[in-house]
Amino acid sequence: MKNSYTIQRNLLDGMEAFLRVAARRSFRAAAEDLGVTPSAVSQSVRALEDRMGVALLTRTTRSVGLTEAGQRLLDDAGPAFQSLAAAYDAARTFGDRPAGLLRINMPRATIPLVIEPVIASFCEQYPDVDVEIAGEDGLIDLAESGFDAGIRIGELLDADMVAVRLSDPFRYVLVAAPDYLARQGRPASLADLKTHDCLRMRYQSGVIAPWSFEDGNREVEVTIKGRLICNDVQTLHALARQGLGIAYVSEPLVAEHIGSGGLEILLEGRGSSSPGLFLHYPGRKQVAPKLRAFIDHLKLEIRSGRVNTLLKPQ
């Protein structure tokens, strides 16, 4: 059977005033401590007594004492109220300075590209911030999963997200290793892809990622086949480098391997384009200092060139 709990409204109203009077044994001294008038303190305590239906203080023209009920409330509520005040102050400090646990979700392949170059300097500059990095290729609800922010490509962002650009727009490219091309030949058209081993990726939803290309002013989707399917971008890149097939990937993530000759671009200029890479977070009026510090630090590191220059936004 489900229990029904009701929390009395305004339960703590007058509690601080009562505890201060009980500690100081004076309405005037309590009022000075609280920065209000003695009349305001008296009214607050009286309202608390009325709600509880019991006298808490004995009042004379010369002194203030505690009733048995007041002593019991002081003994039981005093330490609890102090703990509550301390917890309030501790939580409030998170709005004043970068501190606490910062949780960031992103595709695994972007971790070495974006996070590894900046994480050491960020942790050194902000010692009160703990950082949790979750590599996950599937799309998640940041708020529901308890993440402060995520990093994703622009076309995958929800409209209600606040997005901070981390890169220029980029293209998707078809790539393959030289030994694969030596064995299977180089496709001369999009139609030729149907006869090649294409490395496919399955989204967390279970859907196989489509291969979309630009054909003049329109976008076309090519049906592909392939023996290998994975759900991780880094694995996809590794399979391509091993010569196991053709992969369709974002150019910045394989630029190093293209430059070294480990991968070659096929049908150059036919891949679709992306708005770029973004850090995103749920829209709020106030951004937590820990997240603001990370955003500013990351943008500074990108502009300085300490992060891959392919990500440097204009």
Domains of the chain are 15-95 (1.10.10.10), 100-162+277-311 (3.40.190.10), 170-274 (3.40.190.290)
* The residue to which tokens 């399955």 are assigned: 202
pLDDT digits (tens, 9 = 90+) for 251-278: 988 988 999 999 999 999 889 989 999 9
Pick from 18-27, 64-73, 88-97, 188-197: least confident: 88-97
If you write DSSP's letter for every residue of 172-231 in order, what string do you get?
EEEEE-HHHHHHH----SGGGGGGS-B-EEB-TTSPBPPEEEEETTEEEEE----S-EES
Identify the pLDDT of residue 207: 86
Is the pLDDT at 34 greater than 80? The verdict is: yes
Distance CA(75)–CA(58), nearest Å, equals 17
Q: What three-state secondary structure class fits 47? A: helix
Average pLDDT, stretch 285-295? 86
pLDDT band with cut points at 50, 70 and 90 for residue 285: low
Is the pLDDT at 1 greater than 50? The verdict is: no
Identify the pLDDT of residue 94: 60
pLDDT digits (tens, 9 = 90+) for 173-188: 999 999 999 999 999 9
DSSP 8-state assignment for residue 241? H
Identify the pLDDT of residue 310: 54
Q: What percent of the chain has pLDDT over 70?
A: 90
**pTM for the predicted model, two decimal places:** 0.65
Q: Do 73 and 38 contact (CB within 8 A), yes or no? A: no
Is the pLDDT at 3 greater than 60? The verdict is: no
Q: Do 249 and 175 contact (CB within 8 A), yes or no? A: yes
Mean predicted lDDT score pLDDT of the chain: 85
Is the pLDDT at 95 greater than 70? The verdict is: no
Between CA 29 and CA 36, with CA 30 as vertex, the angle to 5 degrees is: 105
Is the pLDDT at 129 greater than 50? The verdict is: yes
| CA dist list (Å): 173 to 55, 184, 193, 244, 246 | 79, 18, 13, 17, 10
Is the pLDDT at 4 greater than 60? The verdict is: no
Is the pLDDT at 205 greater than 80? The verdict is: no
Identify the pLDDT of residue 314: 42
Q: What three-state secondary structure class fits 64? A: strand
Beta strands in the chain (DSSP E): 57-59, 64-66, 100-106, 129-135, 149-153, 161-165, 170-176, 200-201, 211-215, 218-222, 229-230, 247-250, 264-266, 273-274, 277-282
Identify the pLDDT of residue 78: 80
Average pLDDT, stretch 211-235? 88
| Residue 62, both tokens | 């010369």
Pick from 1-15, 25-39, 138-152, 240-254: least confident: 1-15
